[in-house]
């Protein structure tokens, strides 16, 4: 959770220096609207929970299954929007979800490091998917009445608080990595700034212009780019199933942007 703490403090630092105007932060010290404070707290909790539960799933099931379970979040977005908003998803969007989820499975492979009989691992993985879906849905909803900048600022602030509380519960063990070497500090800083703040901020910003479902499906491209980088940087050979999976992800993402009969893409939740 060190990377989340780094991201939270970095965001406040950038905001105070006045270099966050492109995200409409406005007055940094201003409190969020009363009717948005609770939603921002849940939004921040979902961000922290997404990371925490994912790493718990990885610890019990391995990276592959952890990723596969987390990438079920587009299906959960469809379920949530149907149950809560009574929004019926277009058939083409259902096909897009099936393509992306199948593609991710083919890219990362179905491997686990722990026994398949461990239900706790699957519970952590599904919890990560739920947190991911909530993060996208709330990020989209809050931005309808609150600018993107404050949404990120307060959302990451709440997430940072949850991470610090968890570090306190663990007796500071979470922060031990920062005391081991200068290289660990630099690595934690880079992951916090680029892998956490940059990635999740862009994901929220995307929901200002596209639906949470479209943003969730687009996140499947992460698996495609990761496999390409692994092949180029580390010399890994991609199998035929991985190429097929990458193709399915691209098809699924493309299908999600097809206009409906009204000429618009999937409606925002």
pLDDT tens-digit readout, 202-230: 888 899 889 999 999 999 998 898 888 88
- Asked whether residue 163 is assigned to any structural domain, the reply reads yes
Look up the domain containing 165 and give its range: 2-256
Question: What percent of the chain is predicted at pLDDT more than 90?
Answer: 33
pLDDT of residue 215: 93
pLDDT of residue 46: 95
* Alpha helix (H) residue ranges in 170-265: 182-190, 199-206, 212-218, 221-233, 240-256
- Asked whether residue 268 is assigned to any structural domain, the reply reads no
Neighbours of 75 (CB within 10 A): 18
Q: pLDDT by residue (tens digit) across 180-189? A: 555 566 766 7
Distance CA 129, CA 248 (A): 20
Domain count of the chain? Answer: 1
- Asked whether residue 222 is assigned to any structural domain, the reply reads yes
- Asked whether residue 264 is assigned to any structural domain, the reply reads no
pLDDT of residue 29: 42
The pTM of the full predicted model, rounded to 2 decimals, is: 0.83
- Asked whether residue 99 is assigned to any structural domain, the reply reads yes
Residue 255 near residue 96, CB atoms below 8 Å: yes
- Asked whether residue 263 is assigned to any structural domain, the reply reads no
Residues of the chain predicted below pLDDT 50: 20-29, 263-264, 266-267, 269
> Would you say how long the chain is, in residues?
269
Distance CA 245, CA 87 (A): 29
């Amino acid at each position: 959770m060190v990377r989340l703490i780094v991201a939270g403090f970095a965001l406040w630092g950038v905001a105070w220096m006045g270099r966050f105007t492109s995200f409409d932060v406005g007055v940094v010290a201003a409190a969020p609207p009363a009717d948005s404070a609770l939603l921002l707290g849940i939004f921040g909790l979902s961000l922290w929970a997404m990371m925490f539960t994912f790493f718990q799933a990885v610890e019990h099931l391995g990276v592959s299954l952890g990723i596969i379970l987390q990438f079920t979040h587009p299906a959960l977005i469809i379920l949530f929007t149907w149950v809560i908003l009574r929004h019926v998803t277009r058939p083409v969007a259902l096909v897009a979800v099936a393509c992306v989820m199948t593609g991710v499975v083919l890219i990362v492979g179905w491997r686990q490091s722990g026994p398949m009989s461990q239900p706790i691992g699957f519970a952590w993985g599904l919890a990560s998917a739920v947190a991911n879906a909530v993060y996208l849905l709330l990020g989209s909803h809050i931005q309808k009445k609150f600018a993107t900048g404050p949404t990120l600022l307060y959302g990451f602030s709440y997430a940072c608080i949850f991470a610090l509380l968890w570090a306190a519960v663990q007796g500071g063990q979470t922060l031990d990595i920062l005391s081991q070497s200068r290289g660990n500090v630099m690595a934690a800083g880079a992951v916090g700034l680029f892998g956490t703040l940059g990635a999740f901020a862009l994901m929220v910003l995307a929901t200002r212009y596209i639906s949470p479902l479209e943003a969730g499906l687009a996140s499947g491209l992460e698996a495609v780019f990761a496999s390409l980088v692994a092949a180029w940087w580390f010399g890994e050979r991609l199998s035929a199933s991985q190429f097929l999976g990458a193709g399915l992800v691209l098809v699924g993402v493309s299908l999600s942007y097809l206009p409906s009969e009204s000429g618009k893409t999937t409606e925002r939740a």
